Structure 1
């Protein structure tokens, strides 16, 4: 019989809500419970697949905000695995290091939490007599600027060796450096499988040996969009490794871009949105869908979509609700170019104003300098992580100013165009 296990990481149980979904009470409840539901699904999968073990490669919790209630929930799920004869192996990540409740909680006897200098643990003896050993190392502090790899034991001879490590590897955008090392370093260490954690996007870095970052099993906001899951691993007696990705996320955040080119009226727009969301729901029939919709393209409706934005939001929310368990978190429009085209159809005062704004105002050095000064004045008042996201360098700040100018001018002109249409100017 092979050794089969589920590899996951970065659950961030009961992570505080960070989504615009906070404005919707029902949706806030779904997002709030999503990480717990993901763990329940992981345990269900382990039991259904009759695996030998669950490996959790760090960040079960979300820092010092963890409550004893969260820890008790975790213990209850691990008890289900214990009762099914499934062992659990855990290493602490940078967020777990900040939590005190993990040290106070009594876990089932089948759960092994690796200490800072853990010895390899015998996980199973295969039918051919070959043994499987799991190596893991937790870190007691939220920061690990140096590689932990030199502290790992060498592979057990004539055995299958699995390593568990919470690491940023050589670095990843949006993630702080943590126990850095290279893929080549891991390959040279001689283990058959590396169960990694810390980076929230799934990636198989190497096949032989298998070096896997499973990604987080549940996204928490639109910046963690897409279907999330775990890795189901089978290691045969001869050491051959088979990887399967299995979705477990209870709620799925998705960015949806819908091209409205050719939509001549409001009904055309609604039908285009309905078709797109219908296909999306068909592809993800089991998940709660949380959508950020961006409308793009060239359409004479662009000025009206900007002017009647509150109506647009309501219409799209109703369409999404019609597909069941589907919510719109935010609506965005990218119609700057097509708004100008629509407003030039007639030679009217609004068209002249549009040309003036485009050719004289937006391109003026003084205007851009004033806009940049406003942005520089506002940025220090934002949270550090948001400042980095919006303007990490000079080029990003320039892009931010330009996009704000284009979007803002398009909004103003669309409202003027709508008013002139009502008054019969065009």
Structure 2
């Protein structure tokens, strides 16, 4: 009788959380292992997964069926296993899923699919099999048909299977698999900044901010930033900067040659990769100032963020000038528009660019400019200057030199 009361209490507690699962619920992992058919079978089939699951908190209140359903009962009906979605997680974690869906992580898959270059890549390299772009962008919500093996909206990108540890997701190292490397080395920038250095020396004191401190204050799952991934915003009060930004927006096909919005603007809006109102920008800027002000004075935080803005402004002068150099080659017929391209130059074709000058332009766009502005905001002067600013200037010189070469050859 006592055992029944205990089991009934656990079921009631889970029901109150909104989980709505009842199969194999027990007060402790050891009991779950003894009672659940899922556990007893998978201890033989996938013992590592069982060990991970039983090490976590979820095993204390539910078994595998809470996420995967109970239709799968044998090795012959594995196809009946349900793949969890954010809706599955929301039964217990409604607030966090709502925050996730309001932020940019939920849009990661849509942002990847919106890139024209993705259509040129083999499936395993680009959007399938989780070996390339999709391995990180799977954190976004997607149609089930796009990624049937691992479901949609991967909360386990941060709370990895099957322990789903909150402690793990709070560790800055949880972010580095995706936020590193060529186009967004935020991990390397932070790790080698003074903030990251202090954290490595004192990882448990809380004296240095982590990724989560700044981008997930109070555990919020929104993770948006004022400038967005591409450091682009509209409107812009600075006339010169606005002209340069319009040039950049034309080069990514968001505006046409006449400066009018194209169909790509809808994708930019949907994926939230740019800030398109002053209110949206200011909301995220104030959120970051509040995070910085936990350790620094508000005036210090505002001044440093403003300095980051100025880095973008100065880089955009060089970037826009380089775009105009390449655009003139198209306008003069020296470079021919590639088959299937609607916009030229088209920076969203990435490394599919057809000339050396355009390859350099792509590197400014996705590598050097990213490192300049992200290095500034991650308090890493070396990344901002030598990996970013200096490389932008070098690439701009090579673009002009290559343009001159092509013009000379065209006259011969």
Instruction: State the TM-score bracket (shorter-chain normalisation).
Output: under 0.3
Structure with more strand by fraction: 1
Higher helix share: 2
TM-score, normalisation: structure 2? 0.23
